[in-house]
Amino acid sequence: MLIPENEPHVPLDKIMWRAKPLRVLGKMPKNHDIIGWDTETYKGYARLIANSTGQYLIIEKQKISEDTFTQILRFLTRKTWRGTHGFFWNIDYDFFAILKYAGEDFAKKLYENGEAEWEDYKISYIPKKAFSIQRGHKTHDFYDLYQFYNTALEVAGKKYLGEGKLTELIDRTKLNDDFGLWKEREREIIEYCIKDCELTARLGVLLKDTLKHNIGFIPSKYISKAYISKEYFRRHTIIPTAPNFPKIVNQLALLSYFGGRFEITQRGYIGRCVLLDINSSYPYAMTFLKAYPKDAWVRSDQIKYENTHGFYKIKVVTKDNAFITPFPFRFRGRVIFPKGEFITYATKEEILAYEDDADIEIINGVEAKGEGEYFLKSIVEHLYEWKKKVKGKDMEYMLVKIILNSIYGAFYEKQKRGEIYLTGKLFAPVYASLITAIGRINLYKEAKRYGKRIIGMATDSLLIYGTHNTPLSSKLGGWSEELSGDTYVLMSGIYKIANKIRMRGIAVRRVGKILTPHGEYEDIFEYIKAKPQLTQYVITHERPVKLGEVLTHTKTRKWEDLNIWAKVERTIDINGDVKREWDDLFINGEDFLSRSISSRPI
């Protein structure tokens, strides 16, 4: 019998739980001016820092220097732009280019604790999202704008502003290595950088104005999509968070959290398949969430109240011949869906949904009593209908979609600070577990109808061999047909259906190209066709060395490597999936392209 790990992937005793419940937000925050910022680097250091007001700072010597770092902090916190919201495009690269002057010791403190003091400055940093500089009672905030547009600055500028970068002025790819170019073309480099700042500022203003005029509110900060989403929801409803639940409820809910279901049952050349999606799967799940008084929760070794929430430790015995099984299990850092007898944790919703697919014995648990109140249902349904109405209005559609889809992440938001995990304001493992569990239930129930024709599952989508008979609907939680066609499946997240190719986790050199030791290919499947004798396919790409790599891989990286472009490799094994027991292994790529291999639960 499989026994669960004693702790979830986030240790319970390492979580710093917030003590106070949240209130509904009232007064709208101040309408801050927007400034765009950018850096141009040499040897990974910010040699030029500029903003959209036309101001800039040139740093002559690129080396660790306390004086230079202080000079940069003074520039970034000038009184002139106090009270503004600053935006960078891909903020980590710019922040690392600035931080590089401070040296490794300070950077390590900042990286491990999320904040650190430098002279009379206090610097805070959230990876990929934001950094702030506080001096006295004044704080200057800087955010990443890329995360909202999710495309290159050049692409976003042309799409939303009708204007791109000054790409013909300077070859930016040479700036990090060619000091002669800096000496010969400094004025053009400054012009190029300021233009990027201006584009960033205008896109930041567009984001703010669309939120204000079309969505009806301005966020106090632009830390992340989830931050904007949770501020919107907090203006419309009271959201229970971890302090609203007894400790045992939070603990069992956290142990019952397994995220989305990612699983393939066959790999190789499958034949004609169809891909179905649940419309807004997680928002749909949120319409079933209820709020209860803190004293409504009781310990229980059975299910007494069927229409309430509950979390349990259970013993499961699945059917011997099941092709897919319902209950998740955390095993060696992975989530699998095994067969046989095992102990795991589950929500009440899962136990009731799967009672015909397994023998389930409740060991202990907690459940709520009473009716409860649907606190998200009406607002989610409103946002979903709103999103349908504004489809085609790029900016408004994008922001309504962000608000609708990003709130889920806030229920599981946490940041590691040393050995401790600080939780976000909306941290609520009860709802994070329920949302993902309901999503898995909806996926499994539909997948089960197709038996061994089910090829794969991924959060909100099903890949089915042949045709389907699932009723389609545009309603929230309904099923939509994404596409169909000849299908190859390599592993979860890497597949080809007709002409659509998904390569999750594989970096592309440019649109439609991957770089390998054997040359460039359109995609991983073209790579396999070109090199059919292999079983492992190496993919390379160049990217800047990140702060975490320098601080943790001390044997292979040194401080001067920070922000330097380096070649990174990833190896794709055609027999690499280990979440299920496979009937056979592919001999090589040619074998992979010519047949399929099935599997069974572990």
Cα separation, 220 vs 267, in Å, equals: 47
Predicted pLDDT of residue 524? 95
Cα separation, 262 vs 273, in Å, equals: 18
Q: How many angstroms separate the Cα of 105 from the Cα of each of 99, 223, 420, 551?
A: 11, 26, 20, 10
Asked if the model's pLDDT at residue 544 lies above 90, the reply is yes
Cα separation, 153 vs 352, in Å, equals: 48
Tell me what the mean pLDDT of segment 581-598 comes to: 98
- Indicate the SS3 state at residue 395: helix
Backbone angles phi, psi at 269, to 5 degrees: -85, 115
Predicted pLDDT of residue 418? 77
State the virtual CA torsion across 5, 10, 12, 16 in degrees, nearest 10: 180
Predicted pLDDT of residue 503? 84
DSSP 227-283: HHHHHHHHTTS----GGGS-HHHHHHHHHT---S-EEESEEEEEEEEEEEEETTHHH
Residues contacting 422, CB < 8 A, separation 6+ = 16, 114, 414, 415, 416
Tell me what the mean pLDDT of segment 477-484 comes to: 97
Say what percent of the chain tops pLDDT 90.
Answer: 85
Cα separation, 298 vs 194, in Å, equals: 60
Tell me what the mean pLDDT of segment 180-207 comes to: 96
N- to C-terminal Cα separation, the chain: 12
Least confident interval from 62-66, 328-332, 562-566? 328-332
Kindly state the helix (H) or strand (E) to which residue 97 belongs, with its residue range: helix 91-99
The distance from CA 595 to its chain's CA centroid, rounded to whole angstroms, is 34
The answer to whether residue 511 sits within a structural domain is no
Tell me what the mean pLDDT of segment 292-301 comes to: 96
Instruction: Name the nearest CA neighbour of 447 among 259, 265, 257.
Output: 265
Q: Residue 151 has what DSSP assignment?
A: S
Asked if the model's pLDDT at residue 343 lies above 80, the reply is yes
The answer to whether residue 77 sits within a structural domain is yes
Tell me what the mean pLDDT of segment 195-200 comes to: 98
Instruction: Name the nearest CA neighbour of 213 among 27, 26, 24, 395.
Output: 395
Which tops the pLDDT comparison, 385 or 334? 385
- Residue 6's pLDDT band (cuts 50, 70, 90): very low
For 92, the domain range is: 34-218
Q: Strands across the sheet with 358-368, in order?
A: 297-299, 358-368, 310-318, 341-347
DSSP 468-527: --PPB-SSTT-EEEEEEEEEEEEETTEEEETTEEEETT---SBTTBEEETTEEESSHHHH
Residues contacting 20, CB < 8 A, separation 6+ = 243
Over the range 76-115, which residues count as b (16 or more CB within 10 Å of their CB) and which as e? bbeeebeebbbbbbbbbbbbbbbbbbbebebbebbbeebb
Can you state the angle between helices 104-113 and 91-99, rounded to 10 degrees? 140
Residues contacting 63, CB < 8 A, separation 6+ = 45, 101
Say what percent of the chain tops pLDDT 70.
Answer: 97
Asked if the model's pLDDT at residue 173 lies above 90, the reply is no
Q: How many CB atoms lie within 10 A of CB 165?
A: 18
Q: What is the CATH number of the domain that holds 142?
A: 3.30.420
Tell me what the mean pLDDT of segment 422-445 comes to: 96
Which tops the pLDDT comparison, 117 or 10? 117
CB 314 within 8 A of CB 362: yes
Can you state the angle between helices 429-448 and 247-255, rounded to 10 degrees? 40
The answer to whether residue 320 sits within a structural domain is no
Asked if the model's pLDDT at residue 511 lies above 80, the reply is no
Amino acid type, 84: T
Asked if the model's pLDDT at residue 176 lies above 50, the reply is yes
CB 69 within 8 A of CB 78: no
Backbone angles phi, psi at 575, to 5 degrees: -115, 30
Dig out the tokens for 263 from the structure: 């699983």
The answer to whether residue 137 sits within a structural domain is yes
The answer to whether residue 539 sits within a structural domain is no
Asked if the model's pLDDT at residue 510 lies above 60, the reply is no
DSSP 185-236: SHHHHHHHHHHHHHHHHHHHHHHHHHIIIIIS---S--S-HHHHHHHHHHTT
> Bridge partners of 121?
118, 135
Q: How many CB atoms lie within 10 A of CB 191?
A: 14
Handedness of CA 169, 172, 177, 182 (dihedral sign): positive
Predicted pLDDT of residue 199? 98
Cα separation, 61 vs 64, in Å, equals: 9
The answer to whether residue 140 sits within a structural domain is yes
Cα separation, 113 vs 321, in Å, equals: 50
Domain count of the fold of the chain: 1
The answer to whether residue 139 sits within a structural domain is yes
Q: Tell me what the pLDDT averaged over the chain comes to.
A: 94
The answer to whether residue 126 sits within a structural domain is yes
Backbone angles phi, psi at 515, to 5 degrees: -105, 135
Cα separation, 84 vs 208, in Å, equals: 12
Q: How many angstroms separate the Cα of 355 from the Cα of each of 320, 350, 391?
A: 15, 8, 40
User: Alpha helix locations (H) across 411-455?
Assistant: 429-448
